[in-house]
Structure 1
């Protein structure tokens, strides 16, 4: 099951993602969803380039322990601004799509 598969929480309740199920507001769920996607993309970039954590840290302008937190999925330690900066420094192209809420 992927993050985007519909989840259920008891009879009659369904969610678009796990973040919708566990966060208190739609805004918090959207923030967590975006942070998660950025962290997954950054980890994949590091692996695809064959970077060590030290090399990835140098490229992204952060410390090696920060990269360690990233690859271990410590989502609470990262805000969107930091992840956007790291992704841009790593050579990833970012786009924002805005649409009407369902």
Structure 2
């Protein structure tokens, strides 16, 4: 068994650093969207109408089915929810 340590679970389970970064961003956006809906008591039906998707799609979001959502789709949902997104790029240090 390896004693290798990872900064993120995504770093451990994804095949490439690029895939891990994509999953980190997607999971952050999904969590932000879920928390926004819960904090504001927005029903899945209301959220579906707001985001222009179906209610089962919102159910997938709430259940964390990350493999069903692209980064692009999550950005669009966040914008439709009135959330402001910022991106910060930092150079990795060894």
Residue 91 of structure 1, aligned match among 79, 82, 92: 82
SS at match of 2:56: helix
**Which runs of 5 or more residues in structure 1 are unaligned?**
1-8
Distance 2:2 2:38 in 1: 38
Distance 1:25 1:32 in 2: 11
RMSD: 1.1
State TM-score, norm by structure 1.
0.87
Structure 1 residue ranges (4+ consecutive) displaced by more than 2 angstroms after TM superposition = none
Number of matched pairs = 93
Higher relative contact order (CA 8 A, sep 6+): 2
Q: Does 1:77 align with 2:68?
A: yes
State TM-score, norm by structure 2.
0.94
How far the C-alpha of 1:10 sits from its partner, in A, is: 2.5
Question: Aligned residue for 1:21?
Answer: 12
Question: Aligned residue for 2:2?
Answer: 10
How far the C-alpha of 1:23 sits from its partner, in A, is: 0.4
